[in-house]
Structure 1
């Protein structure tokens, strides 16, 4: 009887040992059930052997107890293995989303509620105007009488992002991204519904190193933008453009052909979109990253073009070009400095939400590209782990041919802002920000904008 019991216990111990050594068992969904049955069997055997000590030797009991210990250790190993595999799977998949066959679908975005109160010294901004939603330097009123503080509440900046990634075999990956929000769209009112129409921000396909579709311009360094409650913040000194393109990336090097569009200042100072472009804008960019942060250099070449149908004169084309240097540099253990400096001619629509146009029209109908200079500097300081502030200043200057554009076009614009942002939990930001912005025309007329903004933002 003792020999039979000893053999059975040793067999059980051998089974537990095999189970603990096999990763296949650790991945089996019913491993816990199997261990429960094995543990119950060993426990029952030990009880019977304790009740019949005359039929069992001390060695039998010791072997059975070793079997019990092996099963306990096996259970712990299986649980650790399953947890580790789950963590690895989540990290490789991005941590959120779900799988559809070979495609990983992830989603993100944020909900943002804003309360904005602002005044303008050069005239009243009408209700429903986008100038009351965020800073547009070229639209700051000038020459009029000062308005009082106008207050608006909005959730229009809320954003939704959907992305996919598919392993198509052969070491290739096919991806996509679509991003939408509700800014700069019609359909809403502050009287009853505030029902604003969604708009497309980004929509593109990626295949290995290639990108096809609408994305941030390769000429813009999104990673250098300061943290702000305003939609953009340092707008006068910022390259800001989203448009369709084809882009190739290899390491830090990027080259892209992007949508062309020539904006022209008419002899009366107005804006004309020629729509006659035949060659894409070409951008070359290099990104250098390190422990310090990142530095980016980007160059752009453009062919500006008009036809007789636009102004009833001649067809003409002109070269536009520019260079932008930007980056984000760490200061100390947590603070950082962000900056951008851009100069060139024929860059009008790329800078500060098209503060000035790409070119002016000479008397014979030919194009005179407008030179621009812009930049910003921003410093972010971490007061504690969940409280931080950013202060920033930006500047824009245009070299308009006044004889062709009149004195009613923007000569320069600048702004400064400071904020305090508190994150009680990582996905939630609560903040307050003060901004002062100024715009001056070539004829000397000027106007300023003062804004206080409170925001709550939940990122997911």
Structure 2
């Protein structure tokens, strides 16, 4: 019996000592399984996060495409296909002006409607002030933007009415004229190709100040639209442009007997290189122009290479006021002051001599309130006329404008301006224009 009790005690003791070992083994296995489950859970989370990132990237790509199309056309565009939007806009502009030509009769041409420095009469007797009003600078445009598998393709067609037509006695009708007609292919995120008629690449339109007149600093600004092919490449915060543009030559007679004329005998396009940059509130463009100036009247012919530079930009201050400027020099000819100067002249031997021109403007805009503002602007161009040209050719043009503009709502503007302009010939004869102009403009 004793042996039985001892045996039973020993068996119980062994059972008690074995139980903790079994429990420890079970705990270790459970811990291992928990670790495996935690690892699998982490892997699952990583997989879900990856899929979420890929989906976000896909959605972002789609949104980028949508944004490209949105940028390609103004707001309020119409969808005319799965990938194409159509937009239209423009403005109605009504102008009224009192013009006093001090040194000759009124020009009775486009100079009565917008400031054209070369039409200011010189060396005569003025007729007193005349009043004119018109709507000819009103314009409208159509744009499209199409998202394709090779990039966004844009188009732009724009017209205004500064081409004449009827008269003022009955209908005041006028013919529409084409301003812009081009396509712009954005074949990558940072490069595009433009083909068609639009502003010359040599002209920084963004530096042009607000004016009551059609242009404003006409006597000193580059101003040209023509057919071209233009390549644009983004470079960081700036861009580089290169274009080949439609050429034309405008010459005076310097003793050759060949009548002053506009010639279309150029064999190569005008070439423009331009860099657009920005630093803080200062945006600017530096442009270089190379062009062939040539003529052929059947008996005499010659060509010369011309070169010019232009720097134009805008500085915006913290309070919203800004300064805009442009300075250009070289064989500018028809590119500046609405062709106030010809490209050069033909001397008695038939030789072609080019004219050097320097011109520019400065403009300051003052914001009086969120609805009222003024711009003070001055423009000047002067020519070093080619040898042999008659002293009756224009040597200097200049103009000044100060305006007051009121916009009760952003798209509706009423304004008035005092404009003074002058033209002087090389022989010293000069003429002045004093103009008071009012305008009403509604953009749509």
| TM norm structure 2 | 0.80
Distance in 1 between residues matched to 2:68 and 2:379, nearest whole Å: 44
Q: In 2 relative to 1, CA 94–235 (structure 1 residues): closer, same or farther, beyond 3 Å?
A: closer
1-structure distance, mates of 2:373, 2:97: 20
Q: Whose strand proportion is higher, 1 or 2? A: 2
Q: How far apart, in 2, do the equivalents of 1:89 and 1:270 lie?
A: 52
Give the drift of 1:270: 5.7
CA shift digits 1:301-349 (9 cap, x unpaired):
011112242xx33x2110100000010001232100000000002x210
Q: In the aligned structure 1, how far is the partner of 2:247 from the partner of 2:68?
A: 42
State the distance in 1 between where 2:251 and 2:295 align: 9
Question: What secondary structure, in the 3-state scheme, does the structure 1 residue paired with 2:409 have?
Answer: coil
- Residue in 2 that maps onto 1:435: 419
TM-aligned CA deviation for residue 168 of structure 1 = 1.5
SS in 1 for 2:111: helix
Shift of 1:188: 2.2
1:448 and 2:432 aligned: yes
Q: Secondary structure at the match of 1:404?
A: coil
Counterpart of 2:119 in structure 1 is 139
Secondary structure of the 1:131 match is helix
Q: In the alignment, does 2:98 pair up with 1:113? A: no
1:288 aligns with 2:245: no
Q: 1:433 to 1:213 in 2, by over 3 A?
A: same
SS of aligned partner of 2:408:
coil
Query: Equivalents in 2 of 1:334, 1:187: separation in Å?
Result: 41
Residue 323 to residue 192, structure 1, CA distance change in 2 (3 Å)? same
Secondary structure, counterpart of 1:405 in structure 2: coil
1:389 to 374, 398, 418: 374
Structure 2 counterpart of 1:34: none
Cα distance in 2 between the residues matched to 1:396 and 1:227: 20
CA gap of 1:186–1:94, structure 2 versus 1, over 3 A, is closer
Q: 1:405 aligns with which of 389, 397, 421?
A: 389
Query: How many Å separate the matches in 1 of 2:67 and 2:120?
Result: 51
Instruction: Give the SS at the match of 1:342.
Output: strand
Q: In the alignment, what sits opposite 1:233? A: 216
- Contact persistence 1:213–1:246 (CA under 8 A): yes
- Whole-angstrom distance in 2 between the partners of 1:270 and 1:122: 26
1:342 maps to 2:328: yes
1:316-395 equivalences under 5 Å are 316-345=302-331, 347-395=332-380
Give the C-alpha shift of residue 173 in structure 1.
1.1
Paired with 2:321 and 2:243, the residues of 1 have a C-alpha distance of 33
Aligned residues of 1:120 and 1:141 also touching (Cα < 8 A): yes
1:283-315 residue CA offsets vs partner (Å, 9 max, x unmatched): 000001344041110000011112242xx33x2
Once residues 437 and 89 of structure 1 are traced to their aligned partners in structure 2, the CA distance between those partners, rounded to angstroms, is: 44
Q: Distance in 1 between matches of 2:342 and 2:275?
A: 27
2:107/2:121 contact within 8 Å kept: no
CA distance 1:387–1:139, shift in 2 (3 Å) = same
Bigger shift: 418-427 or 354-363?
A: 354-363
Deviation (angstroms), 1:126? 4.7
2: CA distance, partners of 1:291 / 1:126: 45
Aligned-partner Cα distance in 2 for 1:136–1:316: 30
Write the mapping of 1:109-258 to structure 2, written as runs, cut at 5 A. Answer: 109-127=90-108, 129-170=109-150, 172-183=151-162, 185-208=163-186, 209-251=192-234, 252-258=239-245
Give the conservation status (yes or no) of the 8 Å contact 1:90–1:96. no
SS at match of 2:415: strand
CA 1:392–1:88: 2 relative to 1, 3 Å: same
Query: Which stretches in structure 2 are left out of the alignment for 5+ residues?
Result: 1-65, 187-191
Cα distance in 2 between the residues matched to 1:448 and 1:332: 38
Distance across 1 between alignment mates of 2:390 and 2:128: 30
Report the counterpart of residue 263 of structure 1 in structure 2: 250
Distance in 1 (CA, whole Å) between partners of 2:262 and 2:177 is 21
Give the distance between the partners of 1:115 and 1:270, measured in 2 at CA. Answer: 37
The whole-number CA distance in structure 1 between the counterparts of 2:232 and 2:352 is: 33
* Structure 2 Cα separation of the partners of residues 189 and 133 of structure 1: 13
**1:212 Cα deviation (Å)?**
0.4
Q: Secondary structure in 2 aligned to 1:423?
A: strand
Superposed displacement of residue 147, structure 1: 2.0
Q: Indicate if the aligned counterparts of 1:271 and 1:357 stay in contact, CA closer than 8 A.
A: no
The answer to which structure has the higher helix fraction is 1
Structure 1 gaps, min length 5 = 1-86
CA contact (8 A) 1:161 1:180 kept: yes
